[in-house]
A = this chain, B = another copy of it.
Amino acid sequence: MEDLSFVPDLPSGPLDVYRNRSSFDWKRLKLALEGDIELLKLKYRIWQTLERDPLFAHSPVTLSVEEQKRMTQLQLRRINQLNFHPKDLATSSYSKRTRTVMTINEAIQSLNPSVSVKMAIGMYLFSNALLSLGTERHLKFYEATFVDRQLLASFALTEIAHGSDARLMRTTATYDPHHKQFVLHTPDFEAAKCWVGNLGRTCTHTLLFAQLITPDGTNHGLHAFVVPIRDAATLETYPGLIVGDMGEKIGVNGIDNGFIMFNQYRIPRENLLNRTADVTEDGTYESSFSDPSRILGAALENLSAGRIGIMQESCHSLASAVAIAIRYAATRTQFGERDKEIPLIEYSLHQWRLFGYVSAAVVFRLFVENFTRVYLGIVEKSNSGMKVDNLSETVSEIHAMVSSCKPLLTWSVLLAAQHCREACGGHGFLKCANLGDIRSNHEPTVTYEGDNNVLSQQAGNWLLRQYSASTVDSPLGTALFLNRTRDILGQTFSCTTTDEVKTKQFITSTYEWLLCYLIKETHNKYEAELARGLSKFEARAKSQVYKWKTLGKVYAEHIVIMFALESLEKKEKGLQPVLNKLFSLYCLWSLDCHLVELYQGGYARGEACARLVREAVMELCDDLKGEVVSVVDALAPTDFVLHSVLGKSDGNLYQNLQKALFSHPGAFERAPWWQQVVPTPASKL
């Protein structure tokens, strides 16, 4: 057994009542969920280092937007100085290097999401894009951002009037052979690049996507350019640019999102990222599809790495939210009989409101860890020049998987944060409960890096292509069930006990039935719309509601279940009972949302199916009552990182609350503005 003494023991207190009932060692579960002891150690090292650093002390009040940006930038700088990269990182394999960087990102995200986003965009996304889209001549930018950390970059794609549909971007880069420069131009405000993280206040360079136009007037489509924005020594923007900060947002206000308009702004020819295409000095466009497999691999990474990062961060936000709500539920009593009050966690309704999300926190984590490993393995193989079988099919499948799972995870976490806040009642509404900030900082994930609704349509596209094709191309196996469509659709619900419903066999086969049914229904609807004379575009639009959209969600759940199950089965024996219960709960709690389709499609008849699924959910909640406190101990970061007056690991709810309320700045002071508001004339009462 590994030595886990680097994970600090939890203080004894009111939560012991439930901790003593759990069937497992929470530190073992923590390790199992992390999947790698070195990465777990790294997280604790980061958390403990930053806890001792005054720059990372929490403010009891929300700082002004400007001050949040300043603090975020200072924290980012400090993290760069501290350099949490292990010594052997540069020489590690791609997989290990990336997983380590992702872990650092996760650890920092749970403390200050704005810092990790700044880092992810300004260093990792930028430098990865350079590696995959650029050539040797761009290595200096890579060195400066990723290795020396002297540059902070940004990524300019979205325009004011165009987000999801990149084809129609209107910013132009016109080549001028006379000066051997590209001339960047923004025709009007609608074409201003916007929402560019780091652009508003801090970045020195941006990676710009613009329509490349050669001197003959031909538009060659979107290409990427490295564009200088600010003088690194003064942070003054260069003439020819209109760069503004987007102002206040709902969350992540530490990030300086910006907009930019180019006024005939010139950059050297060499700043075009020219791996796939270049413009010669005299202005001839040359496409260079010399090594398609490398390009595909690069595309894979660019598209998916950011979204996988979002899923990892979502797992952390979810873990924090449920940890707060469960610890509160175990210490807060309410109602009861004979004036003996009962902890909230004892109520079925409260269990049902929260435990599904606890199970999601565990299952999502198992899925993401497993999937990231598989994903990085494929990219590594592809990058190293080794032949990856069916690389193009693999890239398509991974894109479909990520496009369905990123929406599932980010939406689930958004709902979870809200339910957790409500389950903590009024006290959950306090800023110092931290549920509000967790929620509002998480919120943009459902929109950025691909709007969830748009993304999940793409997953549906892939599935429908597989359905219509003569052979199923699913190297990762997520659509292999399509080879058995006829058999699967012949199945009907036949369980008679909740025990049967809780089995992996029932869960897996029911999900396969659901997928086949929804694919068939979506396909039929789409074909019917085509037959009515609609174009493909129109027919697809008409097939979204109740069909395509539902399909995307069910497919994501199917993937999560598949990858989590594979991971779960490899975990140590002592954890199997609790993991199995959490797994079954997550699956059935998710399936509960699709019961209508089971009935509508004829899989279920009569009352048994809905009843048994729901009874099983309730039984599992009841079974997990003694486990969840230890489960959230395994999920939660340190108290400093969790930063919630309601969720401290000592369980001393009211003492912690008293300290927070009494020490809030100005809590007991007369309002500084009292003279402005006293009644005139003063009342005599």
- Report A's interface with B, CB cutoff 8 A: 60-62, 64-66, 69-70, 73-74, 77, 140-141, 144, 148, 150-151, 158, 160-165, 168, 189-190, 194-195, 201-202, 204-205, 228, 232-237, 242-251, 256, 259, 332-337, 339, 341, 347-349, 352-353, 414, 418, 421-422, 425-426, 428-432, 435-436, 440, 443-444, 446-448, 451-453, 535, 537-538, 541-542, 544-546, 549, 595-597, 599-602, 604-607, 609-611, 614, 618, 654, 657-658, 660-662, 664, 666-668, 670-674, 676-679, 682-683, 685
Contacts and interface: CB of A to CB of B under 8 A. Distances in A.
Nearest to A655: B189
Q: Which of A60, A542, A596 has the most CB of B within 10 A?
A: A596
A589 to B, nearest CB: 11
A70 B676 CA distance: 8
Nearest to A653: B161
Given A537-B336, A674-B234, A683 B144 contact: yes
B73 A678 contact: no
Contact of A337 (B228, B336, B535): B535
A431 B671 contact: no
B666 A73 contact: no
Contact of A425 (B234, B447, B674): B447
Contacts of A348: 541-542, 544-545
7 contacts: A66-B673, A70-B671, A233-B682, A234-B670, A247-B430, A426-B444, A600-B607
A97 to B, nearest CB: 23
Contacts of A600: 595, 599, 607, 609-611
Contacts of A414: 418
A658 B189 contact: yes
Contacts of A453: 349, 353, 422
A243 to B, nearest CB: 7
Given A234-B674, A421-B250, A667-B245, A429 B451 contact: no
Contacts of A685: 140-141, 144, 151, 204-205, 228, 232
A74 B244 contact: no
A572 to B, nearest CB: 33
A334 B236 CA distance: 35
A165 B671 contact: no
Given A232-B682, A685-B151, A248 B430 contact: yes
